């Protein structure tokens, strides 16, 4: 009985972890009680992203409304390019909020865009012999 209490206290202190992937970009988030801060690689999300990429990443925050004000989210992301990283961050924020808040937010996110909660499993197809890319072949001449 005492072990369960100790484990629950550790989870409250450390927070809950979430992972999201896109291509080879992996984003890992820790969500804990706080004041609504979102940090990516130890930087404020507003200072590390700009333009439409920032708008894309902040979609789950806008959809959640005031639900984010109770939690702090720290995200570490690595691998692939900036757009795949942005999509992984976006998915990670949404998954973290759903894990903290529950079914109501999940229904909102799924109705808006299913990719917020479901990782994209597509990967780059490997190159084959006798071609320059995965499917491209050299042109054949008939004469």
Task: Give CA 78 to chain center in angstroms.
Answer: 11
CATH class, 15-115 region? alpha beta
Cβ neighbours around 72 below 10 Å, total: 16
Instruction: Tell me the three state secondary structure of residue 25.
Output: strand
Confidence of residue 11 (pLDDT cuts 50, 70, 90): very low
Contact 64, 97 (CB under 8 A): yes
Digit-coded pLDDT (tens) for 108-127: 999 998 989 999 888 889 99
Q: Would you kindly state where each structural domain of the chain is located, as residue ranges?
A: 15-115
Q: Cβ-count burial of 100 within 10 angstroms (0-12 exposed, 13-18 middle, 19+ buried)?
A: buried
* 65: pLDDT strictly greater than 50: yes
| pLDDT given at position 59 | 92
Q: pTM to 2 decimals? A: 0.81
Q: HSE (CB half, 13 Å, CA atoms) of 118?
A: 9
pLDDT at 95 over 80: yes
């Amino acid at each position: 009985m005492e072990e369960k209490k100790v484990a629950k206290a550790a989870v409250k202190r450390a927070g809950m972890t979430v992972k999201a992937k896109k291509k080879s970009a992996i984003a890992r988030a820790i969500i804990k009680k706080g004041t609504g801060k979102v940090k990516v690689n130890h930087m404020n999300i507003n200072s590390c992203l700009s333009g439409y990429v920032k708008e894309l990443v902040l979609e789950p925050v806008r959809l959640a409304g005031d639900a984010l004000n109770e939690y702090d989210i720290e995200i570490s992301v690595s691998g692939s390019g900036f757009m795949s990283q942005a999509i992984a961050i976006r998915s990670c924020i949404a998954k973290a909020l759903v894990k903290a808040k529950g079914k109501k937010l999940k229904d909102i996110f799924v109705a808006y865009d299913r990719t917020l909660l479901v990782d994209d499993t597509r990967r780059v197809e490997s190159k084959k012999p006798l071609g320059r890319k995965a499917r491209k072949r050299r042109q054949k001449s008939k004469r």
